[in-house]
Chain A
Amino acid sequence: MKWIASALLAAFLLLLPLFAGDFYINLASQILIAAIFALSLNLLVGFGGMTSLGHASYLGVAAYLSALLASRYGFGHGMAAIISITGTVATAAFFGVIALRATGLGFLMITLALSQVLWGLAYRMSNVTNGDNGIAGLTRPMPFGILLDSAAAFYWFALIVACFAFLMMAIFVSSSFGSSLKGVRDQPRRMAALGFNPWMIRWITFVYAGFWGGISGLLYVYYNKYIHPTSLSTTSSAEALLSVIAGGSGTLGGPVVGATLVLLLKNYASAYIERWNMLLGLVFLFIVLVMPTGIVPGLAKLTARFRKGSQ
């Protein structure tokens, strides 16, 4: 049963551009980017037990670095990507050292505060970042000489990256390091007594999550061909957190489902409602009050009950 569903899903994803119009293909690309971003955050939130409200930092740093290197300093996309991701990982390493001086709410507040620095810098250092105007007129890369300007081509590119990201993160969380991460999440004292180094485990995860956040940032700036400080805002971090929580943290599929829902909501709601932020806030309240564990675990429970009931 599971195999059939997976195969159908795979076929749908692969063949989407053949039967859908550009609008939907582009929407799907955005969902893929948001999914990678949410998955990277979930490494911290769901598997690491560290709730961060500053994850947009890594998306933004990668996006801005790539934009600046490519448009202003004439770097090729490949080199720009490498330097951007290196810069993002360095940022995550530095931020991680600071944020991990605390846990729980202290950690949350520090990640929020740090991402606000970056956001503020992006706005104020306008001779570098162009401030509120953002950086426009960017181009998409041409891996192996293939043009990514069409909606379909970019979609397949994003799909490949997303599948790779999903696979890598799946391997990560089920590895022995992943087991130790989950252990530190659940019983940090016990883990330390067993010989595990909780700080190092958390910090490595923080940096890895920042890495994939950066990858999603690269896709983001390639897709939009434009970058603006709002990508570094708390709203951006909050949307990712909502995706994780709505979909269900602690599972791999949850953030993907959550990101899909948040993005669809954003797209369709904005046709009818002017104020996305207010809707986002209400959705936050709704999810937390009504479905705190998220949709994927909720559905899993329902299907389990269904199966038991039909026996």
Chain B
Amino acid sequence: MQFWIIQGLNSLSLGGLLFLLSSGFSLIFGLMRLANLTHGAFFMLGTYFAAITMREYSGLNIWVTALGAGLAVAAIGGLFERLVLTRLKTNPLGQVLVTLGMSFIISDACLVLWGGDSIPVPTPHNLQAPTRMFGFVFPTYRLVLVGCAIATAVALYFLMERTRLGAMIRAGVDDRQMARAVGIPVSNLFTIVFCLGAGIAGAGGVLGGPILSAYPGLDADMLPLALIVVILGGIGSLLGAFIGSFIIGFIYTFGTALFPELAYIILFLPMIVVIAFRPQGLFGRVGA
């Protein structure tokens, strides 16, 4: 019984982490039709940001760090989008390739700057004490992570459904040319969305830090996870990213607990099954 509850909670926290990682990816893909292969690197930048700054200033608040990292990574993303991606509007394949190239540059830069060893990110003091529930203990921070994911999901929902910016984004996702025709500044929107996506990834990297630690190769570990969640949940659907994150969280956690050697296959199996029966993903639109 205890096994199931612990694994269940682990699943939730993994799902939360995955949503923080993949929501930005889904946003960018949905509006810009761009598979942002730099996304894992953006996430990793956030983790390194947290690891380095919190090593220097031990009293630093993780929430402030997340905000700082989010803004910094958003700025980097914005520069990249403006200087490189906009030049490749007519070359969607080229866009994907430069995001790949950028991910190599960032990951090697991290290696050069901060070395090959894994750098931990400390769990915030007030969340270090474990929570007692149902007669056993569970790391509090992991539960908090779920809360962060839900908060992000709610914030994004409000942004997309209740603000003018969100309405413009949704119009752009549905029909880019029509949106342009009615005067929506699509290219500025692209930059905003790219910054937003990158920023969420950066902030997510900070929040995931206490669990993952900053290490070279984190980006390569994270990117496929974002891909799987978005392919499974459906391109351009935040709801799909949310549900997909938790589905993957559950399947992966229980799968690795029960069959540790087959971890990677278990991770990809739901995606493969969904694609076989529904190529547009669980919540995606046909022809996306």
Contact = CB atoms under 8 A, between A and B. Distances in A.
Contacts of A280: 101, 104
A133 B160 CA distance: 48
A21 interface: no
Given A113-B271, A241-B97, A288-B88, A281 B102 contact: yes
Contacts of A241: 97
Contacts of A51: 93, 96
Q: Which of B96, B100, B105, B265 has the most A CB atoms < 10 Å from its CB?
A: B100
B275 interface: yes
A76 interface: no
Contacts of A300: none
Interface stretch (B144-152, B166-174, B178-186, B224-232): B224-232
Interface in A60-103: 98, 101-102
Contacts, number: 113
A120 B279 contact: no
A20 interface: no
B79 interface: no
Contacts of A284: 97-98, 100-101, 104
Contacts of B33: 105
A266 B195 CA distance: 33
A245 interface: yes
Interface stretch (B4-12, B106-114, B131-139): B106-114
A11 interface: no
Nearest to A282: B105
Contact of A278 (B98, B109, B279): B109
> What secondary structure prevails in chain A residues at the interface with B?
helix
Interface in B219-260: 220, 224, 227-228, 230-231, 235
B112 A106 contact: no
Contacts of B101: 280-285, 288
A124 B35 contact: no
Interface residues of A, number: 40
Nearest to B231: A109
Interface of A: 51, 53, 98, 101-102, 104-106, 108-110, 112-114, 116-117, 120-121, 124-125, 233-235, 238, 241-242, 245, 274-275, 277-278, 280-285, 288-289, 292
Interface of B: 29, 33-35, 37, 84, 87-88, 91-94, 96-98, 100-105, 107-109, 111-112, 220, 224, 227-228, 230-231, 235, 261, 263-265, 267-268, 271-272, 275-276, 279, 288
25 contacts: A51-B93, A98-B272, A101-B279, A102-B275, A105-B33, A105-B92, A106-B288, A108-B96, A109-B35, A109-B230, A112-B227, A124-B263, A233-B220, A234-B220, A235-B104, A241-B97, A274-B112, A277-B105, A278-B104, A280-B104, A281-B108, A284-B98, A285-B101, A285-B105, A288-B98
